[in-house]
Structure 1
Amino acid sequence: MTPMKEDYLKIIFELGGTKKKVSNKQIALSLDIAAGSVTEMVGKLVQEGLAKHTPYAGISLTKKGIRYAETLVRKHRIWEDFLVDKLNYGLPDVHSEAEVLEHVTSERLVDSLEAFLGNPKHCPHGGAIPDKDGHYQEDSHTSLADTEDGAEVSIERFIDNHDLLMYLHDIALQIGQQVTVVKHDPFEGPVTIEVKATGQQIPVSYKAAHNVFVK
């Protein structure tokens, strides 16, 4: 399987495609690619029995696709945890390294690495880590962009994307922060939030708000 197909499986998994239909627009926003490219790749995943697509509704993973995605995500996120926790990598810098390492990691190695790290349940950007039997606590799939004005929520996780993580670092948005959604600006404008602990108001861009998940 090509790295690009694997990236699609992982992002559909991150967006909730194990339980619901994910739109082409969501995939395009998260991978920062054109919608036309998503349509083409979705067709290939369907042909290989990894995904199901319903016109005008979206795409979800099949059982085969879920198993494949869980294996990829498990290796990727355990390596991210190791890089941040043991090698002091910055959060925006771990994705590309983990992307390489996941493809050369055996099941024995990832099991040993997991035990060495104390069986972490979440990676540094908040995503759940499946255990070797495929068990994990389901992530929130409610994006900041889809949260109503006035709602008080906790920042749970970020999509694993280098540019996104750099942006969120620059605006000081962090996992675990309690925030209030102040307003959604029209015409794909930013979502303004207020951090409960400091009272600081932060405008979060339209694209970033679709890749930040809250509970």
Structure 2
Amino acid sequence: MTPNKEDYLKCIYEIGQEHEKINNKQIAAKMQVSAPAVSEMIKKMLAEGLIAKDKAHGYLLTGKGLPLVSDLYRKHRLIEVFLVDYLHYAIDEIHQEAEVLEHTVSAAFIERLDRVLEYPRFCPHGGTIPKKGELLKETYHLPLNRAKKSGSYCVRRIHDDFLLLDYLAKHELKLGQLIELRQVDSYAKTYTIVYNGKKLDIPENIAAQIYIEKKE
């Protein structure tokens, strides 16, 4: 399978985590390619049985496509752990390196890497690392913008995006940080949190990329 096709599969998976229906326009925007390019790749993946077209949900990964996506995330996240723990990369530097390496390393390399790293459960961004042969199932899947009640939460996972990581770094908001959700403004679409004596109003598009766990 080509790296380009693998990227399309991951793209469809990621869009599906945020939206109920996946269309060509969303894929083109996320992949930053033209509409004709998306149409051509979609036809190929449909023909290969990697995705299916559904009236209600647009495109869905199939029983053939899902294991491939899980394997890609496993590779990517294990590489990220290695880059941070052994090569001392900063958190905001690892994504692009892992994007390149995930398409080039062998399965044998990944198995040895997993063993050397002592089978980590999470990547540096808090994403779950599936075991070999397992489908990806995120341990932390509640985004801040879907929190129903005010109260105490812990930041458990952050979407792997450079601009997001830069934004959070500027506001000293890190993985594992305890926060207090004080207010949800449905009109302004902001989420007011307090942590370390600071108050921050987070817009919805950013809150959707921060995954939290309710603390009792």
TM-score range, shorter chain: 0.7 to 0.9
- Deviation string for 1:66-108 (max 9, x for gaps)? 1110111111111100111111111111000001111110011
Question: Would the alpha carbon gap of residues 92 and 189 (structure 1) be closer, same or farther in structure 2, given more than 3 Å must change?
Answer: same
- Deviation string for 1:159-203 (max 9, x for gaps)? 2112222222222222222223222334564322122xx242222
| 1:76 matched to 2:92 | no
Alignment equivalent of 2:202, drawn from 201, 204, 210: 204
Which shifted more, 110-119 or 135-144?
135-144
Give the corresponding residue for 2:60: 60
> Of the two, which has the highest radius of gyration?
2
Task: Tell me, in whole angstroms, the C-alpha distance in 1 between the residues paired with 2:137 and 2:107.
Answer: 21
Task: Tell me, in whole angstroms, the C-alpha distance in 2 between the residues paired with 1:131 and 1:203.
Answer: 37
What RMSD, in angstroms, separates the aligned Cα atoms of the two structures? Answer: 3.3
Shift of 1:123: 0.4
Task: Tell me, in whole angstroms, the C-alpha distance in 2 between the residues paired with 1:63 and 1:6.
Answer: 15
Q: How does 1:143-158 map to 2 (within 5 A)?
A: 143-158=143-158
Alignment TM-score, normalising by the size of structure 1: 0.79
Q: How does 1:1-215 map to 2 (within 5 A)?
A: 1=1, 3-14=3-14, 22-24=20-22, 31=30, 40=39, 43-44=42-43, 45-57=45-57, 59-134=59-134, 138-186=138-186, 189-195=189-195, 198-215=196-213
- Deviation string for 1:21-73 (max 9, x for gaps)? 74449x67x94869x79x85894444542234434545432111111101111
Name the aligned partner's letter for residue 144 of structure 1: L
Q: In percent, how many aligned pairs have the same letter?
A: 34
User: In structure 1, the residue corresponding to 2:79 is in which secondary structure?
Assistant: helix
Alignment TM-score, normalising by the size of structure 2: 0.79
Number of residue equivalences: 208
Task: Tell me, in whole angstroms, the C-alpha distance in 2 between the residues paired with 1:15 and 1:46.
Answer: 17
